[in-house]
Amino acid sequence: MNAFRVSTLLFLIVLAVATPALADLRVVTTTTDLAELVRAIGGDRVRVEAICQGHQDPHHVQARPSYMVTVSRADLVVAVGLELEVGWLPALLQGARNPRVNPGNLGYLESADAIEPIEVPAGAIDRSQGDLHPLGNPHYWLDPENAKAAAMLIAARMAELDPDSAAYYQENLQRFVDRIDRAMNRWQEAMAPYAGTRIVSYHRTFNYFFDQFGLVGSGYVEDRPGIPPSPAHLARLIRMMTQQDIPVIFHESFYDRSTSDMVSSRTNARVLVLPTSVGGAEAATGYEELIDVIVDSFTQAMGER
């Protein structure tokens, strides 16, 4: 073998060693719940980071420069949609200057496209009505069936971006769906005795959960979405809760609980401070665990009445 061929072979060997394998799919999600779905589907072939952490209010996130850097490197941004992130995600996308993940491109996905939203307002909307979402209630991930639908949509988009891993993503998706189906049997059995129970909540966060498990949302501590309640509103709410013997108030862990506690002190209702996302409570370490915490907190409170 002549010197030229030997040097060429050595160069190719060095190049093969020095060249890294195909990089993992880089995914940024707006919430920890979506990050959990991506991890379940992508396994060890994705790198995923969530912007809003489980203890934070997803309506209000500061568009930090560090988040823009994270988004600038992403192959895919997965958002909740229905304008949940309207106050901060557009600024992040603009600051990231990553055309791959701009809305309308393959690298941008709103998982709300997989579900049928509830509470879509009719007629004109203005600020006097509070922070209404004109496209519907965006807190759909607290219905496990919607989480399954969102996971299917995410898996399809990841397969488009990384077709070599499509079969792998599909296998992992099926495992996730099977796990949720098994867990649904447990959750439905636990919640069945309380079908028809009237509930008050602080915000409109749990309404998909209520619909899925047969609870009836009867009112809100907030006067209007995002607006602190007036004394007159609270007086009406307390009167209604007393008349209907409302047993619990669902209260999001990131909101101040003082008003809910005051309402509780004047009624027979117990305040349940609940996580709304993965990581929002110590025990809510994954999606199934998040729903477990909500179901267990409610059923325990009802059992102690």
Question: In the prediction, which pLDDT does 17 show?
Answer: 39
Residue 291 belongs to a domain? no
Q: What are the CA-CA distances from residue 194 to residues 79, 141, 208, 243 (Å)?
A: 33, 21, 16, 19
Residues 6+ apart with CB under 8 A from 83: 133, 134, 135, 138
Question: In the prediction, which pLDDT does 305 show?
Answer: 82
Mean pLDDT along residues 23-45: 96
Whole-number mean pLDDT of the chain?
91
The enclosing domain of 66 has a CATH number of 3.40.50.1980
Mean pLDDT along residues 212-228: 92
Residues 154 and 109 sit within 8 Å (Cβ to Cβ): yes
Total tally of structural domains belonging to the chain: 2
Range of the domain at 89: 25-185
pTM: 0.89
Residue 40 token pair: 């379940």
Q: What percent of the chain has pLDDT over 70?
A: 89
3-state SS class at 287: helix
Residues 55 and 279 sit within 8 Å (Cβ to Cβ): yes
Mean pLDDT along residues 133-157: 96
Residue 17 belongs to a domain? no
Residue 288 belongs to a domain? no
Residue 193 pLDDT greater than 90, yes or no? yes
Single out the residue of 263, 137, 136 nearest to residue 200, CA to CA.
263
Say yes or no: 118 and 204 in one domain.
no
Mean pLDDT along residues 281-288: 97
Question: In the prediction, which pLDDT does 198 show?
Answer: 97
Q: Pairing state of beta strands 76-79 and 46-52? A: unpaired
One-letter amino acid at 278 equals V
Say yes or no: 220 and 175 in one domain.
no
Question: In the prediction, which pLDDT does 131 show?
Answer: 60
Mean pLDDT along residues 96-117: 97
Mean pLDDT along residues 216-230: 90
Say yes or no: 262 and 164 in one domain.
no
Say yes or no: 30 and 166 in one domain.
yes
Mean pLDDT along residues 88-113: 97
Say yes or no: 29 and 142 in one domain.
yes
Residues 194 and 302 sit within 8 Å (Cβ to Cβ): yes
Residue 126 pLDDT greater than 60, yes or no? no
Say yes or no: 199 and 163 in one domain.
no
3-state SS class at 247: coil
Question: In the prediction, which pLDDT does 134 show?
Answer: 83
**pLDDT class of 226 with cuts at 50, 70, 90:** confident
- What is the sign of the dihedral through the CA atoms of 78, 222, 220 and 297? positive
For residue range 236-259, what is the model confidence (pLDDT) as tens digits?
Answer: 999 999 999 999 999 999 999 999
For residue range 9-21, what is the model confidence (pLDDT) as tens digits?
Answer: 433 333 333 333 4
Residue 127 pLDDT greater than 60, yes or no? no
Question: In the prediction, which pLDDT does 189 show?
Answer: 98
The per-residue b/e assignment along 71-83, b for 16 or more CB within 10 angstroms, e otherwise, is bbebbbbbbbbbb
Question: In the prediction, which pLDDT does 124 show?
Answer: 63
**pLDDT class of 122 with cuts at 50, 70, 90:** confident
Say yes or no: 230 and 178 in one domain.
no
Question: In the prediction, which pLDDT does 150 show?
Answer: 98
